Amino acid sequence: MPKKGMLIVLSGPSGAGKGTLCNLLLRKRPELTLSVSVTTRPPRPGEVHGVNYFFTDRENFEKMIKKGEFLEWARVYHNYYGTPRRFVEEQLKAGKDVILEIDIQGARQVKENCPDAVFIFILPPDIEELKNRIKKRGSETEESFNLRIKSAEEELKAISYYDYAVVNDDLEAAVEKLESIIIAERCKVYRNMDLIQLKRREGINI
């Protein structure tokens, strides 16, 4: 049986740049598996079904909630987002480290369900930069923009239950920090009880 994989939760306020960081991380660490979320929001230009998200309608999403098919789900503004539970559990069981790139509501649910997941909070360099990034998306009305800013401030308070904080002020440096966090977590003693068992078989009595 392979060693169980780690669940790595990459989260932070909307506009902190966690999507970009996540993509760079996956490019540098192809052994990581990205969990693809289900959403009811319409695809943005360039987004591909099954790669960026599984796009579905509200009726079907609510059916999946009732059936307990989500590891976490959240309603953000007028849309649902959720992580299909079975996919993640199968990957972990196969020894794969799985990345969840999710919002803070979702991360809170994962914290309750999977306390030994690794929680990484992506911080924007500053609030002005956060505003600029949200503006640059170009898909926001003024109302939804203000809602996002207020929500981002609220969400930053959640940092206290995360394990790590990474400031996204330099993409390359931030990705290196994420890589280091993953390598370090793989060295955690409590994740290596199999290693210690192996040592015992080799003749060390522990």
Positions at the binding site for ATP: 12-19
| Cα–chain center distance at 166 | 13
Stretch that binds a second copy, among 4-12, 23-31, 56-64, 115-123 (CB under 8 A): 115-123
Whether 73 and 82 have beta carbons less than 8 Å apart is answered as: yes
Based on its alpha-carbon atoms, the radius of gyration of the chain, rounded to whole angstroms, reads 18
Residue 199, interface with a second copy (CB under 8 A)?
yes
Say if residues 38 and 106 touch (Cβ distance below 8 Å). Answer: no
Binding of a second copy at residue 76 (CB under 8 A)? no
Of 41-49, 78-86, 137-145, 184-192, the segment contacting a second copy by CB under 8 A is 184-192
Tokens of residue 64, six digits: 């999946």
Give the binding-site size for a second copy (rule: CB under 8 A). Answer: 37
- Smallest separation, CB 92 to a second copy (Å): 20
- Which among 78, 73, 49, 44 has a CA at the least distance from the CA of 61? 73
Q: Does 205 bind a second copy (CB under 8 A)?
A: yes
d(CA 32, CA 118): 14
Q: Of 53, 70, 81, 162, which lies in the binding site for a second copy, with binding defined by CB under 8 A?
A: 162
Helix, strand, or coil here: 17? coil
Residue identified by tokens 């940092």 is 159
Asked if residue 183 binds a second copy (CB under 8 A), the reply is yes
Query: Applying CB under 8 A, which residues contact a second copy?
Result: 120-121, 123, 126-128, 153, 156-157, 159-160, 162-167, 176-177, 179-181, 183-185, 187-189, 192, 195-196, 199, 202-206
